[in-house]
Amino acid sequence: MKHETMEFKDGKLRLIDQRKLPGEIDYYVAENYRDVEFAISDMVVRGAPAIGATGAYGVYLAAEEFKDESKEEFMKKLKEANQELAKARPTAVNLTWAIKNIEKLIEKNKSLSTERITEIIFKVAEKIAKEDVEINKKMAHNGNTVVVPQGARILTHCNTGALATVGYGTALGVIREAHRRGKNIKVYADETRPRLQGARLTAFELVEENIPATLIVDSVAATLIRDGEIDLILVGADRIAGNGDTANKIGTYMLSELAKTHDVPFYVVAPTSTIDTDIETGDEIEIEERAREEVSHIQGVQIAPDEIDVYNPAFDVTPAENITGIVTEKRVIEKPFVQGIKEVKNI
């Protein structure tokens, strides 16, 4: 993609403001961890890998803010900041994964000065961001093997591209790789209600990459799948349980049921950091509920009466039995997922 999802420069985190795409390409500048928390919770930045990297920079900005305090106060305030950051998007495990990894390093190096600890945190944040791009390209390479036949018609949901990561993408990264290798693919992109990430973000990336694509309303997917117009479904993930159950953008579970009914391969594409082996099944995944206005309004224009109740879960859980395989940077995990997940987490 032509535009950077994020850049840390001169002590500030610069994020492409995804709330304004595709109409306006603008950047949100986070100067402290509170700005980062807002950017994550208000979806300036979104997508599990991107949220993880952003959260890591948020920890650094908090450490930078408190490093002149006593060691005791530094540790106390940093822990409070980390807790606040972790609550910004509870379903996306990459956020808590990044924060927990940094907290382990803080504990390991707690005898050092606050300045030195802050330097270590920054290096970790930079490493997470750099490695995300490398991991995405490995996933794209592995995922390219499941893109069949030549000329495959691929359905995708939400946004899983460079905008959802530090760069390149997860499911959209696989699509990008297949296009680069001349597989003559065609993409159908769900609009993805209620925030329209498919229409605003995925379509934006596909047009920038000159990948043949068609935007559809979410409910058209069923007709295309039934009529044999879809060869493959590729989606991302915000959290994968130890058994392979996967939380992803609302509407994913519905697609998986259609795929199972009509025998269409359904692949989840996600880094191993999105796999949460601390939970056994999807029943343990906390599903974030978002504001009613996301459903009752579109781009600030009211489309529903004030008196109507709204139920707005941001994610749903696709059972492992509906998933053909899980594409990671290490390999494509096939059933039984429990064993395969254990293996890739231990590599």
Give the three-state DSSP class for 186. Answer: strand
Cα(123)–Cα(131) distance, rounded to whole angstroms?
12
Phi/psi at 225 (5° precision): -65, -45
- Residue 2 pLDDT level (bands cut at 50, 70, 90): confident
For 91, other C-beta atoms within 10 Å of its C-beta total 20
| Whether this model's pTM surpasses 0.85 | yes
| pLDDT tier at 108, thresholds 50, 70, 90 | very high
Residues recorded for the chain? 347
Q: What is the rounded distance in angstroms from the CA atom of residue 113 to the CA atom of residue 97? A: 25
Would you state the structure tokens that stand for residue 159, as one six-digit string? 């946004």
Q: What is the pLDDT of residues 232-263, one digit of tens each?
A: 999 999 999 999 999 999 999 999 999 999 99
Q: How far apart are CA 163 and CA 156, in angstroms?
A: 15
Q: Which member of 17, 190, 238, 316 is catalytic?
A: 238
Q: Are strands 266-269 and 325-327 parallel, antiparallel or unpaired?
A: parallel
pLDDT mean across residues, the chain: 96
Q: Are strands 27-30 and 153-156 parallel, antiparallel or unpaired?
A: unpaired
Residue 189 pLDDT grade (very low, low, confident, very high; cuts 50, 70, 90): very high
Instruction: Examine the residue annotation and report whether 238 is marked as an active-site residue of this protein.
Output: yes
From the CB of residue 190, how many other CB atoms can be counted at a distance below 10 Å? 26
CB atoms within 10 A of CB 116: 12
Q: Structural domains in the chain? A: 6-136 (1.20.120.420), 138-346 (3.40.50.10470)
On the question of pLDDT at 33 being above 80, the answer is yes
